[in-house]
Amino acid sequence: MKKILLILFIFFTIKILLFYNSLPKNLIDYQRINYYDINEILFFTEINDSSVKIVENENVSNYFINSLISIEDQKFYTHSGFDLARITKAFFSNINSGEIKEGASTITQQYVKNNFLTNEKTYSRKIKEIFLSILVEIKYSKEEILNSHLNTLYFGHGIYSIENASQYYFNKSAQNLTLSEANSLVVIQNAPSIYSPIIDKEANLKRTNDYLKRQNEAEVEEIKLDVVVPNRNLLYYLDELKKYLPELNKNSKKDIYTTLDYDLFNYINTEIITDKELQTAIYVVQPNTNRVLALFGGNNYDSQKFNLSTQSYRQPASTIKPLLYYYGLENNLQPYNTLMSKKTTFNVNGVSYTPSNYSSYVNDEITMTFALATSDNIYAVKTLLYLGINNFNSFLDNFEFNQESPHSPSLALGTNYMSLEELTLIYNGFASGDYSDPIFINRIYENDRLTFNSIKNIIVDLNDDFCIILSEMMKEMFSDLPTPINVTGKNINHLLTHKYAAKSGTTKYDAWMIGYSPYVTVGVWNGYPDNLEIGTINTKQLFAKIIEYYHRDIDSYEWFNNDLNTVDGNFVYGLNGDNNYKFIVK
């Protein structure tokens, strides 16, 4: 028996020592993650996977701190982690009632339970809570424990930390809380699902007055709320980032340097994203590095958590055409190759297929560049059939897209299914010369030690020459040359001050616009998740606003560098020799 007791003693002693040694130098750093943007500015902090706004004790109203200690733990500054008298009283009360009703937890115990343990109501968990509280009290000062508690308290409605709660309920900083507001928040944190004034204002007011009386303060007739619901669209980006996180030490402080352009995010979030039912998904990425600069999966994270930029697979429509013509360039087609654009019925394996054009047919021979700029469907289907549907599908397989493509001539018009992320990364590939995995994290430090550095993972190497030629072709959707049919970007030409390569696409249910410069690639999608028809919308204008905002401080830049020969030709853009100008060909 003595041996067994000795073994148990050694076992628990080792566990206690391991726990004690695993604690961070600063308690507030336990399970803390700081996120920095691409300019290394802190923009988000999490503790225990919850968003918090960390403040020092001196930046919290004394009304709140005094009330919290008075109500929750009057002996906070004198006990060693637990209050034996309260625990004894609670124990006998629970015995008499036949169930665990009272916990008698100190502030230290509450912090330990919320951050190290579970809410399970058992005596074994309570014993663990007491032991761990003693260890926390040994290692940290009372002010550190109080500060960590203040910054991790839960106030309901997904709100953690006293600063976030003050902003949410009263639209003010925690240091500016009035006596009644402070006591109202103390009430809320005690049982948010019962005492949140948003859920039950009367219950919160009654309990607040009870707390005020216990502190010999005057009662109040009303607590005026000024609820500010936080915009949580940033979580679209962070949710995706977390898919790429390596395994981290949960006890350590973690500083994650992300690829987010927080200034760009704020611009899009305030100027582009609306609260309309029509959803907007946006994906912005940097050429060559593949750093994701901004990402929106919908208009409102709280009502649309499903990420429409990465998880939704829709028909890309004509935005697939640059990929088709890139494959054509790889197979010796040229931007000046001409085909007849007129109403055509195709017979493929005994099945008739008659595609239509969004606008009218030219009823003449047109070049590949003209077909791309005007989004001619006949030229695209003819090109696909010439190259071979199976061959093009095999080419698409190299990119490891999530969805399989149909064996149909309609594939040339984008009847496959792709996400906005996949399409935007493809276009970014044309700007970079390779198709690669997205990068959300530049580097990670754990306890100030570098533990992760991003490495670009190339999936498909693209031909630089063909990417340059394709980019030249794609910029013609904004051409101001006279044509019998308008180029598809003509209606936003007046919004653009720089040169871009781009392509739009539209179905009854989707509107796409994706384009790039040597500096940035922007993808925009509009639609309804439940496939309602979209009508006429301004997706191209949204694209123009975003990409122009990104280039606002760039006066001019060199278009894609190349070693290709430049020749005079009349075969690239115009019809039958019209509109002569230079174009690069091999």
In angstroms, the CA 380 to CA 320 distance is 10
In angstroms, the CA 244 to CA 240 distance is 7
The type of residue at 332 is: N
Identify whether the C-beta of residue 281 lies closer than 8 Å to the C-beta of residue 240: no
Bridge partners for 246 per DSSP = none
- Of 431, 435, 355, give the one whose Cα is nearest residue 395: 435
Helix (H) or strand (E) holding 340: strand 338-341
Instruction: Divide the 586 residues of the chain into consecutive groups of 10 and give the mean pLDDT of each group.
Output: 64 67 82 95 93 95 95 89 67 53 76 84 78 90 95 95 96 96 95 94 94 90 89 96 90 92 97 90 97 97 93 97 98 93 89 84 87 94 96 96 94 97 98 97 94 95 94 92 84 94 96 97 96 91 97 87 45 38 30
Q: What pLDDT shows up at residue 379?
A: 95
Residue 424, Cβ neighbours under 10 Å: how many?
A: 30
- Of 158, 132, 163, 134, give the one whose Cα is nearest residue 147: 163
Q: Say which residues have a Cβ less than 8 Å from residue 449's Cβ, sequence separation at least 6.
A: none
**Options 70, 72, 144, 454, the catalytic residue:** 72
Q: Say which residues have a Cβ less than 8 Å from residue 243's Cβ, sequence separation at least 6.
A: none
Structure tokens at 299: 């208009």
- Of 73, 61, 155, give the one whose Cα is nearest residue 108: 73
Q: How far is CA 167 from CA 114, 164, 437, in A?
A: 22, 5, 38
Give the rounded distance of the alpha carbon of 52 from its chain centre.
Answer: 17
Q: Give me the helices (H) in 447-531, please.
A: 464-474
Residue 331, Cβ neighbours under 10 Å: how many?
A: 14
Q: What pLDDT shows up at residue 496?
A: 96
Positive or negative: CA dihedral 483, 489, 493, 497: negative
**Farthest-apart Cα atoms in the chain, separation:** 101
- HEC string of 242-271 equals HCCCCCCCCCCCEEEEECCCHHHHHHHHHH
| Mode of pairing for the β-strands spanning 42-47 and 346-348 | unpaired
* SS3 state of residue 417: coil
In angstroms, the CA 211 to CA 554 distance is 59
DSSP string computed for 37-75: -TTS-EEEEEETTEE-----GGGS-HHHHHHHHHHH-TT
Positive or negative: CA dihedral 85, 90, 95, 96: positive
Q: How far is CA 428 from CA 213, 283, 398, in A?
A: 64, 11, 16
Residue 386, Cβ neighbours under 10 Å: how many?
A: 13
Give the total residue count for the chain: 586
* SS3 state of residue 403: coil
Residue whose pair of structure tokens reads 């910054």 in the numeric block: 151
Q: What are phi and psi of 466, to 5 degrees?
A: -70, -35
Has 271 been annotated as catalytic?
Answer: no
In angstroms, the CA 162 to CA 111 distance is 14
The type of residue at 15 is: K
Residue whose pair of structure tokens reads 């080419």 in the numeric block: 395
In angstroms, the CA 109 to CA 128 distance is 10
In angstroms, the CA 140 to CA 25 distance is 9
φ/ψ region of 171 (left if φ > 0, alpha if ψ in -120 to 50, else beta) reads left
Identify whether the C-beta of residue 310 lies closer than 8 Å to the C-beta of residue 297: yes
Identify whether the C-beta of residue 555 lies closer than 8 Å to the C-beta of residue 544: no
- Of 471, 211, 217, 419, give the one whose Cα is nearest residue 313: 419
- Of 388, 413, 410, 414, give the one whose Cα is nearest residue 401: 414
Has 318 been annotated as catalytic?
Answer: yes
Structure tokens at 232: 């949580």
In angstroms, the CA 94 to CA 276 distance is 53
**Options 318, 341, 471, 517, the catalytic residue:** 318
In angstroms, the CA 395 to CA 323 distance is 10
Identify whether the C-beta of residue 391 lies closer than 8 Å to the C-beta of residue 256: no
Bridge partners for 256 per DSSP = 35, 444
